[in-house]
Structures are given as C-alpha cells and as structure tokens.
Amino acid sequence: MIITHDIPWAACLSHKIFPTIKKGWKDTKMKPVHFFWGLGSNNLQEIKQVKEKGEEWWMVDVGYITDQITRYPTPSIDKYNTTYFRIVKGGLHMTMGDPRDGARYTKLLQQGIDAEFKGWNTGECKHILLAPSSQTVCTYVHNLSQEEFIKQTTKEIKCYTDRTVIMRNKPRPNNEWWDTDIKDDLKDCHALVTNMSLSAVDAVLNKVPVVTHQDNVCYYVSGRLADINDRRMPAREDMTRWLRSVANNQFTLQEIEDGTAYRFLNEN
C-alpha cells in the first residue's frame, strides 16, 4: 500500500512527483510504504510516527547532481529531462550505493550537467566555509536549532584551526545570500563544513574538500573535523566510484513514472 504524505499547498512539487511514484512503484497491497517530500508541513511528526510503527518509508527531495528547480516565488521544474530527484530509503540522503558500470554518470556528463570531478585545490587556501542545513533538518538530525548548530560547530572548528570561518546559509529571498553563487565562496576555500547540506556536493565538484555529518551524501569522501588542517582529498578513482553511486540514486520524473527508479533502488 503506497502512502504519499501530501503537503497541503497547491504549488508544492510533491503534487507533481507523487503521482509518478504511484505509477512507477510496485505496490505491496498488504505492506504500507510511505513517501515524504522533504521535511516541510507535518512531515517531521509523521516520519516519527512511521518510524515508531516500524513501517517502510522513503524520502523524496531534489537531486544531488542535477539542473535545479526554481524555488521562488513558486516552485517549478524547468527542465524535465535534466532535473533529477533523489529517493532515499529511511533517511535524508543515500550514503553509498552500487556504482555499477557508470552509465548513468556518463549520461549526466553528456547532458551538460556539472558532474565532473576536477581534482582538488592544493594551492593557497584561506578560509573554512560553514554551510548549515535548514532549521528543520537541524532539528531532525541533531535536535538543535540552526543557530545552536552554527555556534557549536564554529566553536569546534576553532579548536582545530586558526583559519577564518565564513558562514553561508541557504539563499532565501531577502537574506544576505540571496542572488549569490556558492562558487564565489568556494574560491580559495580550504574546506567546507556542513551537517547535511547539499553544498557539500557543490564543494567537491569545485575542488574543495569537505567535512560532513555521517548521514550526508558526501560522507564517503569526507574528512574528520579534527583533521581539518590536513584535509582528506580522496583519490580520483574513489571520487569516480562515489559519483557513479550518486548518479544511480537520482531520477527524472519520467524515470520515476516508468519504473526505472523502482528497479534501480530495489536492486541496490
């Protein structure tokens, strides 16, 4: 029994995505299988209830290496063939799946999506970029407010390095990061630190090592905060393996609807 936890906002992208899941996901009549779009609305409480009952649940959210959706003022999918969505069982991110033959990763490159590993910046680096997840994610992962996470993490970073810490929050209309590009903050950046933000993907694709939470998609290529002065920079073959795995855990709406997502995720 497929249960989609619809968000009561007509413009929410879940109303475009959930119908494709109902078409492409193999139904199990006697077993509840829950799908959530992000952590908005009542999803935090409803996920908690599903976990307490021990029922299967999947998180659906924006993809890792993809053309981006338009978020404001009204969400929209502008490029259906190159906009990917992640579907993760029992968590916010995939951590490490099957890299397979790399065909899906190669397809991203052929589509012109910025998916290429360009090596690491080994030159002079100046600052640490701290990029926290949203308030709801901080609550879900740490039971902390975003402000508390920022304060605690900044204090811990300064235990291990004397480099300047620059904070970058999610761009939202009218905040100081709105209409700015994270690539500017990644220039001359020694490392990016985050809990669950997809800014970590931006970082490793722009030659900047990362330190992340263990449940972040980039944890496989992440270093430890205590070692931030001696950054972890995985070898190219390890980065390629990770990129292939990421590509196998995100799908277009067409691939969700035609069953490709179901087959890949259940085989993985």
- The span from the CA of 190 to the CA of 230, in Å, is 10
Report yes or no: 245 and 96 within 8 Å, Cβ to Cβ: yes
Is the preceding omega at residue 99 within 30 degrees of 0, hence cis?
A: no
Which residue bears the tokens 């085989």?
Answer: 267
φ/ψ (deg, to 5) at 84: -110, 150
Q: Which helix or strand (DSSP H or E) is residue 61 part of?
A: strand 56-62
- The span from the CA of 133 to the CA of 169, in Å, is 8
Predicted confidence (pLDDT) per residue in 184-204, tens digit: 999 999 999 999 999 999 999
Give which of 13, 10, 11, 6 is closest to 256, Cα–Cα: 13
The residues facing 88 across adjacent strands are 59
- The span from the CA of 58 to the CA of 37, in Å, is 9
**Which stretches in the chain have pLDDT values below 50?**
none
- The span from the CA of 141 to the CA of 133, in Å, is 10
**Sheet with 2-4, side-by-side order of all strands:** 2-4, 33-37, 56-62, 85-89, 250-251
- The span from the CA of 46 to the CA of 41, in Å, is 10
Task: Show the CA angle centred on residue 43, arms to residues 260 and 193, nearest 5°.
Answer: 80
- Provide the H-helix boundaries in 55-124: 103-110
- As given in the structure block, the two tokens for residue 162 are 């004397």
- CB environment 199-210: b (16+ within 10 A), e (fewer): bbbbbbbbbbbb
Predicted local confidence at residue 267, as pLDDT: 80
Predicted local confidence at residue 268, as pLDDT: 67
